[in-house]
Amino acid sequence: MNKHTPLYDMHVSLGARMVDFGGWDMPINYGSQIEEHHQVRNDAGMFDVSHMTIVDLSGDGVRDYLRHLLANDVARLRDKGKALYSCMLTEQGGVIDDLIVYYLDDAFYRMVVNAATRDKDLAWLEKQAADFDVEIAVRDDLAMIAVQGPRARDKVHQALGTEAAPLAELGVFFMHQVGDMAIARTGYTGEDGYEIILPAGQASTFWSQLLEAGVKPCGLGARDTLRLEAGMNLYGTDMDESTTPLESGLAWTIAWEPVDRDFIGRAALMAQRDAGVKQKLVGLVLEDKGVLRNHQKVIVDGTPAGEITSGSFSPTLGKSIAFARVSVDIGSQCRVEVRNKLLNARVVKLPFVRNGKICI
Amino acid sequence: MSNIPQELRFTKSHEWIRREEDDTLTIGITDHAQALLGDLVFVDIPEVGEECAVGDDVAVVESVKAASDVYAPITGEIAAVNEKLADTPELLNQDPYGDGWIFKIKPADENDYDGLMDADAYQEIIAEDES
């Protein structure tokens, strides 16, 4: 029996096609995933992301704990409500998960980690907490709705009415508490918008209010093509415990300074950096007809040069795009082995699309 | 619930087959198949004149989600292909039994058609998926 979010009945009544996603029954689409994709790029769409794991961390030792646990440095968070994207690494530098952590108070942080990695993440958090004064609370009583798109914020403000006034000034990557709702200006689509954490019992009512405000429901299918266009990694396909952030387009999330901060995985990352990183994550745009898929081989001058980690069709570009892990010395063109044919692809810098604009 | 036209024949791999007046067979994918695949974005169609044996993978339909082979339901020769699909693969979603047809086969043996599954048998096959 799969797990259901508080919005499960809502999805079914809206005609969603439900699929298994890491042990959860989740909506893949409500009709057309391409229409949902365009809805987010052009207007406003919402996603039920209540399957994600919300963890509250409190105690006098929480800041030191997070500075040891994460490759990015929570000391960078000086203003209350500010969020940070980071990887959590093994001693070998492999990525256990990627996550967002919000600084809410000196002794209180909130973390959102992936659904599929829940058990191993929680075990790791507990294990590393042994030497710190930190309390770990999993918030299964909460739901989470992402509202994304150029008109997403306006429509959320409309749904909230007068309560929304402080949100007009909310900065990018900040969270603000409105009543029972923690509203963060974050997302996974490359568009402006909010991720809203609220009590599970209020999720259906708020979802209905968003529907009334003209926000369209969107499934995990559109979420995947949106994040791919936006150049955002998906844990488990673009990186995992066998790859480091340096090989995964995530070097920017490693806080090397200050040098005396001894985070887990630091020694391994420094050794890899000093020896020279051999692979990197790049974007590919297919120039021939077809669709790039995960695990297809990248070929340069007749020899293997890497592999696609995430491939799909880009509704915004109208052609197939992918992330690929390739040799660091790759040029601007390559070929991809697609169903026994070699197709031409262009190597590009990520992202493909940001704030509705094509970047490549 | 999927639309399953009574006058067509079907395969377990979700192709439909319609016998035309000139005895060629028109082939496409069923409403059930297009719904499972989601938005179709690319179709690789065979060449007219190609020989095919029953079970050969003669075409590929790709959705945003996944690629899926389309198999020849009968032995024969490709008699026509739907060129429109190159630029408008969404026809497979919008009209799977009409404008979304994929190719036509001139069968080597016209009697082979009679051995294909009818609508009721196909309904039973997909009933489990949709329950």
A311-354 confidence digits (pLDDT tens)? 999 999 999 999 999 999 999 999 999 988 999 999 999 999 99
Of A33, A291, A315, Cβ closest to residue B38: A33
For B91-104, what is the mean pLDDT? 98
CA A2 from centroid of its chain's CA atoms: 23
For B38-65, what is the mean pLDDT? 96
Distance CA A330, CA A351 (A): 18
Residue A15, pLDDT > 70, answer yes
Contacting residues for A214 by C-beta, under 8 A, at least 6 apart: A43, A44, A151, A155
Q: Between chains, do B44 and A290 touch, taking CB under 8 Å as contact?
A: yes
pLDDT band at B131 (very low <50, low <70, confident <90, very high): low
Contacting residues for A165 by C-beta, under 8 A, at least 6 apart: none
In DSSP notation, B53-122 reads: -TT-EEEEEEESS-EEEEE-SSSEEEEEE-GGGGT-TTHHHH-TTTTT--EEEEESSGGGGGGSB-HHHH
User: What is the residue-averaged pLDDT of chain A?
Assistant: 97
Best residue of A20, A291, A296, A336 to probe chain B, by most B CBs closer than 10 Å: A291
* pLDDT at residue B1, rounded to an integer: 67
Residues in chain A whose Cβ is within 8 Å of chain B: 17, 28-29, 32-34, 221, 225, 289-291, 293, 312-313, 315, 320, 339
Residue A345's closest CA among A327, A324, A318, A315?
A324
* pLDDT at residue B128, rounded to an integer: 74
Of A33, A289, A293, Cβ closest to residue B39: A33
End-to-end CA distance of chain A: 44
A225 contacts on B by Cβ (under 8 Å)? 64
User: Which fold would CATH assign to domain B9-108?
Assistant: OB fold (Dihydrolipoamide Acetyltransferase, E2P) (2.40.50)
Peptide bond preceding A6 in cis form (omega within 30 of 0): no
Residue A66, pLDDT > 80, answer yes
Best residue of B61, B65, B83, B131 to probe chain A, by most A CBs closer than 10 Å: B65
Mind listing the pLDDT tens digit for each residue in A100-123? 999 999 999 999 999 999 999 999
For B11-23, what is the mean pLDDT? 96
Q: Between chains, do A29 and B86 touch, taking CB under 8 Å as contact?
A: no
Looking at this protein, which amino acid is placed at residue A217? P
Contacting residues for B13 by C-beta, under 8 A, at least 6 apart: B69, B71
Of A17, A34, A290, Cβ closest to residue B64: A34
The predicted complex's ipTM stands at 0.86
